[in-house]
Amino acid sequence: MQSSSLTTTLLPVALGIIMLGLGLTLAVSDFTRIVKYPKAVAIALLCQMILLPVICYFIATVFGLPPALAVGLMLLAASPGGATANLYSHLSNGDVALNITLTAINSFLTLFTLPLIVNFSLAHFMTSDQYIPMQFAKVVEVFAIVLVPVMIGMLIKNRMPTFAEKMEKPVKILSATFLVLIIVSVTVREWQTMTTYFGTLGWPVLLFNLLSMAIGYYIPLLFRVERKQAIAIGMEIGIHNGTLAIFIALNVINNSAMSVPPALYSLLMFFTAAVFGFLVKGKKGLA
């Protein structure tokens, strides 16, 4: 994809607004709350940071995805949970406080783990002449566009809590609008790629989505984590920050094909997360 208003203006602005909105919901206590939920947080981080990338790697390999699409799927696996997870968790009777804590911690840790996973994926799936590792300057760029808006949002909440509370809903609506525009834009511009590889890409993306939510829900239950917290972890791990993945694909790696898996995933997850929430909601759910 050539340089366009999407890659140069809309996408960075959209990601900045989404991360600002996340910051408006966060406080320092959300980072320190790990002491309150040590087992739940540890299990969630293990699944998010280690288990999901490994599973994603095997899915990409078994389905024989083309190199760029395989890297795009790995990029998605390396991305943190999306802010939408908080809403779905709330609607499904999940522990939203745990969601907020996990989103805060994941967003910070991903700044270090994401470059490692992406560089591994580029080196493994791409040929030597296609492999261009994420340079330090690009890592700093991702760091800035993710962390700076979050810090600004947290500062606003700390200094002007009433204003921050009033702005939460409008910013969420704006974030959702931007996300839809990004998905539509990527779909339109990459329609040929998406239709060409949909038969190849559709099932791996759907499988990864379903496994993400299932792992996030059942593994905590296996370790006797409260069901309410298991729902929160399932949503956190199943709903990735597709906007961040698309931004890195287009603006950092400069490969439009890599943006297709995150775009398709972002579209599917709205429906699968709704079904998952319906199934786990209630006294017994899927437990």
Q: What is the CATH number of domain 5-280?
A: 1.20.1530.20
> Is 30 in a helix, a strand, or coil?
helix
pLDDT category at 37 given cuts 50, 70, 90 is: confident
**Span 81-102, average pLDDT:** 78
Checking if the pLDDT of 143 tops 80, the result is no
Across residues 159-177, what is the average pLDDT? 81
Separation between Cα atoms, residue 259 and residue 80, nearest integer Å: 16
Q: Which DSSP letter does residue 34 get?
A: G
| pLDDT reported for residue 131 | 54
pLDDT at residue 128 above 90? Answer: no
Taking the C-alpha atoms of residue 146 and residue 16, their distance in angstroms, rounded to an integer, is 7
Does residue 81 sit in helix, strand or coil?
Answer: strand
Spatial separation of the C-alpha atoms in residues 17 and 122, rounded to whole Å: 29
Alpha-carbon distance 99 to 87, whole Å? 9
Provide DSSP, 89-108: HHHTT--HHHHHHHHHHHHH
User: Is the Cβ–Cβ distance between 89 and 95 less than 8 Å?
Assistant: yes
Write down the pTM of the prediction: 0.78
Phi-psi region of 256 (alpha: psi -120 to 50; beta: other; left: phi over 0): alpha
pLDDT-based confidence at residue 286 (cuts at 50, 70, 90): low
How large is the average pLDDT for residues 231-239?
91
Least confident interval from 13-17, 66-70, 91-95, 99-103:
13-17
- What pLDDT is attached to residue 190? 66
Inform me whether the pLDDT recorded for 2 exceeds 70: no
Mean pLDDT of 144-168: 82
Q: Are 145 and 19 in contact (CB under 8 A)?
A: yes
Percent over 70 (pLDDT), the chain? 83
Answer whether residue 69 shows pLDDT above 80: yes
* Higher pLDDT, residue 181 or 116: 116
Look up residue 48 and give its DSSP letter: I
Rounded to the nearest integer, the mean pLDDT of the chain is: 81
**33 token code pair:** 């709350």
Q: Quick one: average pLDDT of 80-100?
A: 78
CB 34 within 8 A of CB 45: no
At 174 the pLDDT is 79
**Angstrom distance (rounded) from CA 77 to CA 172:** 23
Confidence tier at 271 by pLDDT (50, 70, 90): confident
Q: What is residue 1's predicted lDDT score, i.e. its pLDDT?
A: 41
Predicted local confidence at residue 170, as pLDDT: 84
